Structure 1
Amino acid sequence: MTYLSVCSGIEAVSVAWEPLGFMPVGFAEIEKFPCELLKQKYPAVKNYGDITQYEKWNIGQFDILVGGTPCQSFSVAGKRGGTADERGALMYAYLGIVETYRPRWVIWENVPGVLSSNSGYDFTSFLAGLEECGYGWAYRVFDARYFGVPQRRRRVFVVGHSDNRTDLAAKVLFEPESMRRDFKKGEEQKQETSENVRGSSEITMYLAHPSDSRFKEAEKTMGSVTAHYGSTGGGNTSLIVEPTYFRRGGNYKYHRDKKASTLRNSASPDCFDLVLASEKKYIRRLTPLECERLQGFPDDYTQIEWHGKPAEQCPDSLRYKAIGNSMAIPIMRWIGERIKRIEEKIK
């Protein structure tokens, strides 16, 4: 199967789908660092750049359109400009690509905040746009921690199929067992998955930033509290494992003796550091390699040559942002596998 990946970033989609035999016909990315990575990793695939210029692309036919348009204006951590923000309005450019090229499948990803943005009108207008183009659709919120990576990352995934095949779109996102309301079986699966994910991350961490004037005081009061936590930075891209430890718009919550206190941090989101809860407390930065593993990327995937310097000198800040703005690879592979299975049955 062939696919066009838009808002490509560092191409989690291609990493996820390469084992499935899917072939990219093109990318669409404008950020400098991801563009350079795409050039080095996928030299034979054309980067079409700005998705608002889709009418000039002349790509031809492909099977799948996939991409997650910018989420900042939809996130509950931001100003929530929705589609009134030019970044949020890019979802209409995505619909323009759907209307122009009419791929058999469409996959769109965004933050859960899109469901309530503009009282739900923004998301409704996106789904209505798919219907106007003749697509049946289904959507579901997935959390990456249930797909084998040690982070909590909830995202909305919309799958559409041409010829108004809502049934096929639903088969991608929903399992027959859950539709039959088999509560006992579902509960057993939930417990098994949670235990596996929890066991995959043995290091206990706190997220904070040493530039905050209250950081040292907070460090002293945290004691031996434990919580799994990871973050890649990059705006609305927090990666979290335990549900009681979370970040929202610069707010960091710690728990000690079941009492919560909040430390506000207005520092750069690209420079998150970690306090490890152990017998000997110390501070260190979450490494880019750890962030790559949180998303399911191969080790050192984002370590590329940059501005004539060797890969070993690639700036960490650029890597953090690119990884944080990407997708969880296991989820994309799961979706791809189910599409492939459906296509094989149809044939």
Structure 2
Amino acid sequence: MNVLSLFDGKSCGRLCLQQAGIKVKNYYASEIDPYAIKISKQKWPDIKHIGDVQSIDIDNSWYLGHTNISYDKGVIMLNGDIDLLMAGSPCQGFSNAGLGMNFEDPRSKLFWTFIHLLRQLQRGNPKVLFWLENVKMKKEWRDIISKELGVEPIELNHGICSPTERKRLYWTNIQGVKLPSNSHIIINDILEHEVSYKYLITQKALERGQRKTYSKMRFNPSKCGTLNTKNNSGQMSIDSGTTLIQVGVADGIKGHESKTRVYDPKGKCPTLLTHQGGHHHAKIAVDEELWRRLTPLECERIHGLPDNYTEGVSDSQRYRMIGNGWECRGVTEMLKAINL
């Protein structure tokens, strides 16, 4: 099939399609992050990168079955239709971790660019499939998206198939989509046995769970919170989906109380974020006096990526692009419906 992927990032869409057993003939990727593009090119040399989504125009009105994709560096004349339009449009305007600006946020306004390009594709191919991912959001915002696309979203908490709590919505016209089954995977299942000293946090742990926390602790030995896009250093964060085992509080760290939390590897990890910050990393208790943060490879495993998929850029950029991307186990299972 011919695929157009908007806000492509490090090409999780291509990976999920491959893992789902879907044969891809041509894959066109729109992305502006140079680090994500570098990783995409390393992993998928055959992908055609077409730059900023706002520079794309699609014309399939001349001949049915012939699609022209114009972008800032030229025109792609495709002998055929785009069969699938994929996108994980920027979510900061809808996320609880953002400013709550909804469609007024410049990044979330790009949803309308997705709609514009979908309408252009539908003129030439009314049966074009679409797949749009975004965060769980207020009903009024969700309803606007649903009205434009003509379908209700599928909600998935990726914690059922991943070591992270990550609630996401998927709008699609793909028929027969099934949610993945529960794999009962926890943080301990993805940890490296030996890590560099740079990931260690060497300070004495304080008494366990005796300090007042920002939110009520939830003791669940099988789940962690969502990996999201606020932090670029593997933070275990707090959000509505967090179910963590907190075992201590780090001393001497300034800022919000959530930065001081230390978690047990027998639970799930919280959302992976992409925000810059000194102590925003995820803190795991190795024993009572030794803590460390998640490594980039462990974050890859949390999101269902192959080991070292993001290798080739700095750790900060690896954390950032992993947090920005899809949790691939769940997406892969749902995309298998294309072959039904």
**Which residue is equivalent to 2:29?**
27
Match among 144, 153, 165 for residue 125 of structure 1: 144
Per-residue deviation at 1:295? 0.5
Specify the SS of the correspondent of 2:330. helix
Match among 159, 172, 180 for residue 159 of structure 1: 172
Contact 1:232 1:270 in 2 (8 A): no
C-alpha distance in structure 1 between counterparts of 2:51 and 2:41, whole Å: 12
Task: Tell me the amino acid that sits aligned with residue 36 of structure 2.
Answer: P
Superposition map of 1:99-118 within 5 A: 99-102=119-122, 104-113=128-137, 116=138
Match among 235, 238, 242 for residue 247 of structure 1: 238
**Which residue is equivalent to 1:172?**
177
**Which residue is equivalent to 1:263?**
257
Contact 1:234 1:269 in 2 (8 A): no
C-alpha distance in structure 1 between counterparts of 2:14 and 2:206, whole Å: 44
**Which residue is equivalent to 1:5?**
5
The answer to whether the aligner puts 1:291 opposite 2:292 as a matched pair is no
Which digits, 9 at most, give the CA deviation of each residue in 1:127-183, with x for residues without a partner? 22224xxxxx24111011212x2111110011126xxxxxx3xx22579xxxxxxxx
Which digits, 9 at most, give the CA deviation of each residue in 1:58-99, with x for residues without a partner? 554211111110011100122111111110110100001100
- Describe the shift of the 1:236–1:160 C-alpha distance in structure 2 as closer, same or farther (beyond 3 A): farther
Specify the SS of the correspondent of 2:298. helix
Gaps of 5+ in 2: 58-69, 192-201, 211-218, 249-255, 261-274
The normalised TM-score by structure 2 is: 0.69
Contact 1:4 1:25 in 2 (8 A): yes
**Which residue is equivalent to 2:208?**
222
The answer to whether the aligner puts 1:68 opposite 2:59 as a matched pair is no
Q: Which moved more, 1:225-234 or 1:93-102?
A: 225-234
C-alpha distance in structure 2 between counterparts of 1:256 and 1:25, whole Å: 45
Specify the SS of the correspondent of 2:91. coil
**Percent of pairs identical after alignment?**
23
C-alpha distance in structure 2 between counterparts of 1:265 and 1:2, whole Å: 44
**Which residue is equivalent to 2:63?**
none
C-alpha distance in structure 2 between counterparts of 1:270 and 1:106, whole Å: 39
Report the aligned-residue RMSD: 3.8
**Which residue is equivalent to 1:316?**
315
Contact 1:70 1:90 in 2 (8 A): yes
Gaps of 5+ in 1: 132-136, 162-167, 176-188, 204-214, 305-313, 342-347
**Which residue is equivalent to 1:53?**
55
**Which residue is equivalent to 1:84?**
104
Per-residue deviation at 1:12? 1.2
C-alpha distance in structure 2 between counterparts of 1:199 and 1:303, whole Å: 21
C-alpha distance in structure 2 between counterparts of 1:202 and 1:221, whole Å: 27
Specify the SS of the correspondent of 2:153. strand
- Describe the shift of the 1:318–1:236 C-alpha distance in structure 2 as closer, same or farther (beyond 3 A): closer
Contact 2:220 2:245 in 1 (8 A): no
Per-residue deviation at 1:333? 1.1
**Which residue is equivalent to 1:94?**
114
Specify the SS of the correspondent of 2:164. coil
The normalised TM-score by structure 1 is: 0.68
- Describe the shift of the 1:234–1:92 C-alpha distance in structure 2 as closer, same or farther (beyond 3 A): same
Number of residues of Structure 1 aligned to a counterpart in Structure 2: 277
C-alpha distance in structure 1 between counterparts of 2:156 and 2:164, whole Å: 12
